[in-house]
């Protein structure tokens, strides 16, 4: 693709001030692709943040409808990228064509979802408490509240979702919807993909008359620290490893002006198979779990990494069938050499423990990841050993067998925060094990029943978050329309004349919002 320049995107222009260069790589062969990318210099990081800072005031003051037009234009541009783009993403990531097409639809779909959020207007959170001048013993002033963007947001691209969690992904879409310009740090695993999508965003910005610094993108290793520490950045969105997310969180907290980091980091996503379900459909569960563990080479943040069942002849049969199925799974190419190396290290770490046995899986090769199944002693979790709390990013999972419901409850109590937890259950199981639900609510962001976590719907009700270490802040989500909340803050106006109020708070309600007025929801004009 001839328009891939490999230069930074700053203030609507291209920049290549640094001398160091990088290459994109074919994920399957390891060979360099014919694109050269320029490492961002410290000066370029500063320029990108300055451009976003200048763009903030004019961008956030645009009407929600104008910002919605921008998001819809980005979606149209991404949908319009040709077959050569699809082929390029496949080469950079080794992901199949069908997956890339589906992910592109998800990416444009979530942009359109946030456009709908903007048109709906509920994200503004308009609240009005009208004056009560005659109130005794003290009168009440006229008090009105709505929400505005926090300021420029630094977004870090994810390795495992080159579109949906990257350049125009959920963090970027929700930040732009909130009225926050973005400085995006491209992931080194798919820089050419990022370049194409960034061009699409810039074209959309120009078509819809957005400020030139509304979107900026930089390349390179080591630039993330400077970006998070930059004074103009007011929040951070990140999807990646626990080590990387924690490092960014610590950097942000140590700033003279600390800022929030919304990092999705690590999750083992336990699946609890309850007895009645196992007795009725054990073989089916084994087949479904095998598919979920191996989907996308296990490179989903919701991949089931811990399978829990109660000791019984049925569970022994399930274990045998599951091991057979896992042994029959083919090797797959991972996103990049770094992911394969980390996968190998994770397997070596767990396989070397005396209380872990290997049930299925061929020896690892040099180019592809072999699916693996382990079984671990439940006492590892009960004793607080961190081994089973650590995510293995790839097509591997661990079985744990508990003796009775009391030990199951103790195991769940021992788990760290997770993105998801799944119950495979029949109605009789739910009746018998009902006490598990409050425990799981305290541990995870999404509870599934008779489904598998490797599939995250982009919708208003979705939660893709959870207690630490699944995320750095369990109060938010990185998928679904509620993701916009991360980049908003409330502002209160007291005793302001109507003509000086933002439209969301004016008496005649020009935006047609459903507002909380004197404690009651209303769309009515106050005139």
In CATH, 270-449 is 3.30.70.890: no
- Vertex 214, ends 210 and 215: CA angle to 5°? 125
Residues in the chain: 527
Per residue, the 3-state secondary structure of 328-367, as one string, reads: CCCCECCCCHHHHHHHHHHHHHHHCCCCEEEEECCCCCCC
Would you call 301 a catalytic residue per the annotation?
yes
Packed helices 64-79 and 97-120: angle between N→C axes, nearest 10 degrees: 170
Q: What is the reported pTM? A: 0.96
Percent of the chain with pLDDT over 90: 96
Phi first, then psi: give them for residue 268, nearest 5 degrees: -105, -5
Query: Which one of the listed residues 92, 180, 301, 391 is annotated catalytic?
Result: 301
* Whole-number Å distance between alpha carbons of 453 and 177: 27
From start to end of 166-234, where are the E strands? 182-185, 215-218
Place of tokens 């599951």: 322
> For the segment 210-222, what is each residue's pLDDT rounded down to a tens digit?
999 999 999 998 8
pLDDT of residue 367: 82
- To which H or E segment does residue 78 belong? helix 64-79
User: Phi and psi for 236 in degrees, rounded to 5?
Assistant: -135, 135
Number of H helices, E strands in the chain: 15, 21
The Cα–Cα gap between 355 and 13 comes to 57
| pLDDT value for 160 | 92
Q: Pinpoint the residues of the chain covered by CATH 3.40.309.10.
A: 270-449
Which pLDDT band holds residue 346 (cuts at 50, 70, 90)? Answer: very high
Query: Looking at residues 425-453, what average pLDDT do you find?
Result: 97
Element at 216 (helix H, strand E) = strand 215-218
Per-residue model confidence as pLDDT tens digits over 361-416: 999 888 899 999 999 999 999 999 999 999 999 999 999 999 999 999 999 999 99
Every domain of the chain with CATH number 3.40.605.10 lies at 8-265+478-486
Domain 8-265+478-486 of CATH type 3.40.605.10: yes
Q: Is 317 a catalytic residue?
A: no
State pLDDT tens for residues 134-167: 999 999 999 999 999 999 999 999 999 999 999 9
Which residue in the list 264, 297, 391, 401 is annotated as catalytic?
264
Q: Give the HSE-up count for residue 158: Cα atoms under 13 Å, Cβ half-sphere.
A: 27
Identify the sign of the CA torsion 217, 221, 225, 226: negative
User: Rounded mean pLDDT of the chain?
Assistant: 96
Residue 310: count other Cβ atoms within 10 Å of its Cβ.
19
Whether 2 has a pLDDT exceeding 60, the answer reads no
Confidence check: pLDDT of 286 > 80: yes
Exposed (0-12), middle (13-18) or buried (19+): which is 485, by Cβ within 10 Å?
middle
């Amino acid at each position: 693709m001839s328009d891939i320049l490999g230069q930074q995107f700053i203030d609507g222009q291209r920049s290549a001030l640094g001398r160091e260069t990088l290459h994109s790589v074919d994920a399957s062969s390891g060979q360099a692709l014919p694109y050269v990318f320029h490492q961002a210099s410290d000066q370029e990081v500063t320029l990108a943040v300055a451009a976003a800072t200048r763009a903030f005031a004019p961008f956030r003051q645009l009407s929600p409808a104008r910002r919605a037009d921008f998001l819809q234009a980005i979606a149209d541009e991404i949908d319009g990228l040709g077959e050569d783009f699809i082929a390029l993403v496949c080469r950079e990531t080794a992901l199949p064509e069908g997956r890339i097409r589906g992910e592109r639809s998800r990416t444009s779909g979530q942009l359109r979802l946030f456009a709908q959020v903007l048109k709906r207007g509920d994200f503004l959170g308009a609240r009005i408490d009208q004056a009560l001048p005659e109130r005794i013993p003290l009168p009440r002033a006229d008090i009105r509240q709505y929400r505005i963007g926090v300021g420029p947001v630094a977004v870090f691209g994810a390795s495992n979702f080159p579109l949906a969690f990257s350049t125009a992904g959920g963090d970027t879409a929700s930040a732009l919807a909130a009225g926050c310009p973005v400085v995006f740090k491209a992931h080194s695993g798919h820089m050419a993909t990022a370049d194409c999508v960034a061009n699409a965003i810039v074209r959309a910005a120009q078509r819809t008359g957005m400020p030139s610094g509304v979107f900026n993108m930089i390349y390179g290793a080591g630039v993330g620290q400077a970006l998070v520490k930059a004074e103009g950045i007011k929040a951070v969105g990140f999807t990646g490893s626990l080590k990387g997310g924690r490092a960014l969180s610590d950097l942000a907290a140590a700033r003279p002006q600390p800022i929030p980091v919304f990092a999705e980091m690590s999750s083992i996503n336990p699946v609890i198979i309850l007895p009645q379900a196992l007795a009725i459909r054990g073989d089916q569960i084994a087949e479904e779990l095998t598919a979920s563990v191996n989907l996308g080479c296990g490179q989903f943040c919701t991949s089931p990494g811990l399978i829990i069942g109660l000791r019984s002849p049925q569970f022994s049969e399930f274990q045998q069938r599951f091991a057979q199925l896992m042994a029959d799974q083919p090797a797959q190419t991972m996103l990049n050499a770094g992911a394969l190396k980390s996968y190998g290290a994770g397997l070596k770490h767990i396989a070397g423990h005396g209380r872990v046995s290997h049930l299925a899986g061929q020896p690892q090769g040099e180019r592809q990841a072999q699916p693996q199944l382990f079984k671990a002693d439940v006492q590892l979790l009960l004793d607080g050993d961190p081994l089973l709390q650590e995510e293995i990013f790839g097509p591997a999972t661990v079985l744990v067998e508990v003796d009775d419901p009391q030990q199951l409850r103790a195991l769940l109590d021992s788990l760290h925060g997770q993105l998801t937890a799944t119950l495979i259950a029949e109605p009789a199981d739910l009746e018998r094990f009902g006490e598990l639900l409050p425990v799981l609510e305290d541990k995870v962001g999404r509870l599934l029943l008779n489904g598998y976590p490797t599939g995250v719907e982009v919708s208003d009700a979705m939660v893709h978050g959870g207690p630490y270490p699944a995320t750095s802040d369990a109060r938010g989500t990185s998928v679904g329309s509620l993701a916009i909340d991360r980049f908003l803050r409330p502002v209160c106006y007291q005793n302001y004349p109507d003509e000086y109020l933002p439209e969301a708070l004016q008496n005649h309600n020009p935006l047609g919002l459903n507002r909380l007025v004197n404690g009651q929801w209303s769309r009515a004009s106050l005139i």
